[in-house]
Structure 1
Amino acid sequence: MAEEESAASRKFVRKVIPSDNSCLFNSIAYCMAPVDNIHQTSSALELRELISAVILSDPEEYCEAVLSKSNQEYSHWIQQSSSWGGAIECSILAGHFQVEICAIDCQTLRLYRFGEGRGLSRRMYLMYDGIHYDAISELEGRKEVTLFRAEELAIALVKTFRDKRQFTDTSNFSLRCLVCGQGIQGSDGAQKHAAETGHGNFAEN
């Protein structure tokens, strides 16, 4: 396919996003900023508020069975800076920005698509390492392109980090909080610790 040019002719890079519990929002904002001129310093808060409003506006679609919380509880929870975003947020933001969001799991190389089937022409790629999202961009000379269609090459980039084991095995792993040093078990423990303390910088033990 024309969009899948040889790796030798295209260069892709991982844009490391700070580990501050808002990495998903900031990764998406980073990809959209050159296109929609989003202000990076306020983007995470704005996107959280947007998601909260969408959820509140449609309590039938975003019900407790979907959210694992009541509609109002979730809309309040997602606005907190310690809350992590995931599939629900990706789906809402794909619709808001009218762009496919493709998250590539670093451990399995599985690609999760949000916004697929809506006839969207724009696409972004994110790398997910088990607990953290980073943006993927393409370099064209001095220009950085964050919306592109090159699935195989984006996955090939993520594979280089998988081969270096730069992912967190969330099914069987222990973490250490780099802020306070506390030992934590699993992604649920990390989310609980982040919610209780506001700490969002973890490393695998």
Structure 2
Amino acid sequence: MSVLQPVRRHVPNDHSCLFWALAYLGEGGECGRAKAQELREVCAQEALKDPDPATRALLLGFDSVELYATWIRNEFHWGGENEVLVLAKHYGLEVAVVCCESMQVLCYGSDHPGCTARVYLLYTGQHYDPIVFGPDASVPVDQEQKRLSKGDTSLDSGATDLARQHNVEAARKASQRRAKKIKCGGCGTLLSDAEAFATHCGEVEHDDDFAYECEEVEVVIEGDEALPEGTLDLNSDNVQTFTNTGVDPLSNAFPAPVTIGGVSFPSLEHYWQATPFLGVSDEVAKRIASAKSVDEAVMIAGGAGPAAQRPDWRDRRRELLLEGLVAKGKQCPAFSQALQQTGEKTLVCLDADPWGGMQAPGGIPTGQNNVGKALMELRSSQL
């Protein structure tokens, strides 16, 4: 006879995973949302029928059992220890919950007279999955064993190994760095965004069949792997990052008045928001310059729309940005001092704007960082 091994089965990762998992173990086969809702109702009725509703409500952490019943019927609310106890009784099962966080096996329902068998759940701290048994991990569903004898703890160690494996895999994924890239359909080059892809298409010669195809792909770098060549490591000691929040003197939003072209702006960000409209929509630019806050300036610029912008805006924006930074350097001592104190570090503006800054939600920086590059150019010219 083959030695049984614990095998993790997966149920949907939603707010009803506990109900899916216990239905799988208690009834077998797949269960749908209707079954999950049915088990929620079992929990609600168990509370509503309690002969001592006040004490039951107190134990449940609610002001009344009616409030609990309403809460648990909501499919967006998770099940937990209270529901495990009720459903263990409902199915006549001893439910062994293997906790990935504590690496312990907690048992529920053993003291109920109707309990006849033992089942296992894996609890990650956020999700429940059923554990079944078979000769190896490839055991087919129709040959797996879902139940052991009540009180049989012989496979606790193996079930705990599943928790340990989960923790190792979770740690590996947590150390991964990910980024969305645009992959050129002609040559396979990975670009940071759509604008970079458009530039690539204009600069790189492809074959005659190339029709400007591209696709979004996800780049995954394991924790012990080096970042791709040319990728900035934002955690490096040689990199200094800042956000455009107005706190750092390097940021455009820093509240330092600057006069450019005879027009006074409360901050360089006001100027930057006005640059697309200078010379073509002067009334919009004037309103931006008079805005009481950066947020108001951004809203005015966004409301004006592309039609009001100067036609050469995209081609001249780097030049206009540098012009503004030069003026800020001459008129704001705090900015000049902060810039010189960066030494030879690579400056990176952390911003959602892919042209002006960079961001790294998955650990791999993307974006052109033109604000950071312009700052470094200005710093070099001042040496």
TM-score (norm 2): 0.39
Q: Give the corresponding residue for 1:18.
A: 12
Q: Is the 8 A contact 1:51 1:93 kept in 2?
A: yes
Q: Supply the AA of the counterpart residue of 1:55.
A: A
Q: 1:44 aligns with which of 28, 36, 47?
A: 36
Deviation string, structure 1 residues 4-63 (Cα, Å, up to 9, x no partner)? x9xx822221111111200000000011123xx7x7122101100111011000114422
Say what the alpha-carbon RMSD is for the aligned residues: 2.5
Which residue, 96, 101, 104 being the options, matches 2:98? 104
Counterpart residue number, 2:125? 130
Q: 2-side partners of 1:85 and 1:56: how far apart?
A: 17
The runs of 5 or more residues in structure 2 that have no matched partner are 173-361, 364-383
With the length of structure 1 as denominator, give the TM-score of the two structures: 0.69
Using the TM superposition, give the Cα deviation of residue 97 of structure 1 relative to its aligned residue in structure 2, in angstroms: 0.9
Match of residue 27 from structure 1: 21
Q: For residues 171 and 99 of structure 2, what CA distance do their matches in structure 1 show? A: 11
| CA distance in structure 1 between the partners assigned to 2:133 and 2:116 by the alignment | 17
SS at match of 2:144: strand
Higher relative contact order (CA 8 A, sep 6+): 1
SS in 1 for 2:167: helix
| Number of residue pairs aligned between Structure 1 and Structure 2 | 159
Counterparts of 1:19 and 1:160, CA distance in 2: 18
Structure 1 residue ranges without an equivalent (≥5): 168-203
Query: Between Structure 1 and Structure 2, whose CA radius of gyration is higher?
Result: 2
Percentage of matched positions with identical amino acids: 28
Specify whether residues 166 and 110 from structure 1 end up closer, same or farther in structure 2 by C-alpha distance, changes over 3 A only: farther
Q: 1:166: Cα distance to partner? A: 5.9
SS at match of 1:12: strand
Deviation at 1:92, TM superposition (A): 0.6
User: Secondary structure of 1:165's partner?
Assistant: helix
Task: Determine the C-alpha separation between the residues in 2 that align with 1:158 and 1:138.
Answer: 15
The reply to whether residue 67 of structure 1 matches residue 66 of structure 2 is no
- Name segments (4+ residues, structure 1) moved above 4 Å: none
The answer to whether the aligner puts 1:159 opposite 2:164 as a matched pair is yes
- In 1, Cα distance between the equivalents of 2:60 and 2:94? 22
